[in-house]
């Protein structure tokens, strides 16, 4: 891995994800604190970020956008409609715009910013502890050097995966972006099941978390297909066989598949509205 040093970077929106990136970038020394600018409407939050990371803060999105060779849009999807007109034609040709906004399509960002060099990314919640995976793509106008800058930004959140077509962003939103939700629900259900058996909540929590962590690490380290690993622990007439029978009877695979498909469809639908002008309300005569 080539170590990339970012020149300057600006964040439009100083929330949870911006903070995770700032933390990651600073701890890896990818960028110096004085080269980070954050625009954020709330006084208290600005003061908090400045005190915690020694970064530059402003309430003015344009000021921030002018301050970064890389400009990261880290606002909520519903705010994009308001922010795009503020930033329209504010970026110069050499700047790179990165959006992590769920559903924010490249065409919407290109048109709204009036800027061709755009990276669209989908991180996920474990990014907050540097254990995320970010799927990203770039327009043709993003130079090889800018791609490396984008990669360095995403590495501040954990792993990254480049895809060459935007359609994979909606798929990634359903698989890795929404993925922690499936995992947390399964964790919760297993903990409740262990409590049902008679373990204390604390014991149940530790047993399930460690089993899940160990199983994931084991699957990763051995590189074996999950079905092979499962077969290895399924003795004839044993407890695993009994449990598998119930999971198949309850359509666990189908439920998971339907959940991922529904999240994908929702992401595609979001793309049709995020960052677009809201329809005007009819004026009463
Ligand atoms: N969190 C995740 O795990 C995750 C995963 C994948 C993708 N994303 C995407 O990442 C983006 C940011 O998510 P987040 O969790 O970091 O949200 P967040 O914590 O709400 O951060 C958004 C920040 O933007 C600020 N803001 C509001 N209006 C603004 C404006 N007009 N100009 C500039 N800043 C403004 C907010 O300030 P106030 O608090 O004062 O409103 C807030 O500090 C979202 O678009 C989301 O889709 C997040």
Distance CA 124, CA 106 (A): 19
pLDDT for 276 equals 85
Best residue among 24, 41, 67 to mutate for probing ligand 1, ranked by most atoms within 8 Å of CB: 41
pLDDT score at 280: 57
Cα of 203 from ligand 1 centre, angstroms: 35
The ligand 1 atom nearest the CA atom of 40:
34
Q: Exposed (0-12), middle (13-18) or buried (19+): which is 38, by Cβ within 10 Å?
A: buried
Place of tokens 């919640």: 125
pLDDT at 3: 56
Query: Under CATH, which number does the domain 9-167 receive?
Result: 3.40.50.720
In angstroms, the CA 158 to CA 123 distance is: 9
* The pLDDT value given to residue 277: 76
For 237-276, the pLDDT digits (tens) are 999 999 999 999 999 999 999 999 999 999 999 999 988 8
Q: What is the 3-state secondary structure (H, E, C) of the chain?
A: CCCCCCCCEEEECCCHHHHHHHHHHHHCCCCCHHHEEEECCCHHHHHHHHHHHCCEEECCHHHHHHHCCEEEECCCHHHHHHHHHHHCCCCCCCCEEEECCCCCCHHHHHHHHCCCCEEEEECCHHHHHCCEEEEEEECCCCCHHHHHHHHHHHHCCEEEEECCCCHHHHHHHHHHHCHHHHHHHHHHHHHHHHHHHCCCHHHHHHHHHHHHHHHHHHHHHHCCCHHHHHHHCCCCCCHHHHHHHHHHHCCHHHHHHHHHHHHHHHHHHHHCCCCCCCCCCCCCC
- Measured CA to CA, the distance from residue 18 to residue 153 in angstroms comes to 11
Q: Give the CA distances from residue 221 to residues 14, 138, 158, in Å, rounded to whole numbers and listed in that order.
A: 37, 31, 18
> Measuring from atom 25 of ligand 1, which residue has the nearest CA?
13
Residues contacting ligand 1 via CB (< 6 Å): 12-18, 39-42, 45, 61, 74-77, 79, 82-83, 100-102, 122-125, 177
Of 111, 133, 112, 131, nearest to 122 by C-alpha is 133
What region does 15 belong to: left with phi over 0, alpha with psi -120 to 50, or beta? beta
CB neighbour class for 173 (10 Å; exposed up to 12, middle 13-18, buried from 19): buried
**How do strand 56-58 and strand 132-138 relate by DSSP bridges?**
unpaired
d(CA 76, CA 68): 20
What is the structure's pLDDT at 1?
46
Backbone angles phi and psi of 42, in degrees to 5: -85, 125
Domain 179-271: homologous superfamily in CATH: ProC C-terminal domain-like (1.10.3730.10)
In this structure, what token pair is assigned to residue 156?
A: 């501040």
pTM of the shown model: 0.93
Q: Domain segments of the chain: what residues?
A: 9-167, 179-271
Closest listed residue to residue 38, CA positions, set 12, 15, 16: 12
Which residue ranges of the chain lie beneath pLDDT 50?
A: 1-2, 285
CA of 135 to the centre of ligand 1 (A): 18
In ligand 1, which atom is closest to the CA atom of 83?
31
Distances in Å between the Cα of 180 and the Cα atoms of 85, 174, 204 are 33, 10, 20
């Amino acid at each position: 891995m080539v170590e990339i040093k970012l020149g300057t970077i600006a964040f439009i929106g100083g929330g949870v994800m911006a903070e995770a990136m700032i933390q990651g970038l600073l701890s890896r020394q990818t960028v110096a604190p004085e080269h980070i600018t954050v625009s954020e409407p709330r006084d208290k939050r600005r003061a908090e970020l400045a005190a915690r990371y020694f970064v530059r803060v402003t309430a003015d999105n344009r000021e921030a956008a002018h301050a970064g060779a890389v400009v990261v849009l880290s606002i909520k999807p519903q705010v994009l409609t308001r922010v795009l007109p503020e930033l329209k034609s504010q970026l110069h040709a050499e700047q790179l715009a990165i959006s992590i906004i769920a559903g924010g399509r490249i065409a919407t960002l290109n048109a709204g910013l009036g800027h061709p060099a755009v990276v669209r990314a989908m991180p996920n919640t474990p990014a907050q502890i540097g254990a995320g995976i970010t799927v990203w793509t770039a327009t043709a106008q993003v130079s090889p050097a800018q791609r490396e800058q984008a990669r360095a930004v995403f590495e501040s959140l954990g792993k990254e995966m480049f895809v060459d077509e935007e359609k994979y962003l909606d798929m990634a939103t359903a698989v890795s972006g929404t993925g922690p939700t499936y995992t947390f629900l399964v964790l919760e259900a297993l903990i409740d099941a262990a409590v049902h058996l008679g373990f204390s909540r604390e014991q149940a929590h530790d047993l399930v978390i460690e089993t899940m962590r160990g199983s994931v690490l084991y699957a990763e380290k051995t590189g074996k297909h999950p079905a092979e690993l499962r077969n290895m622990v399924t003795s004839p007439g044993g407890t695993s066989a009994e449990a598998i029978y119930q999971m198949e009877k309850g359509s666990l695979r189908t439920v998971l598949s339907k959940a991922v498909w529904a999240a994908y469809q929702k992401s595609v639908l979001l793309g049709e509205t995020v960052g677009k002008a809201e329809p005007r309300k009819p004026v009463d005569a």
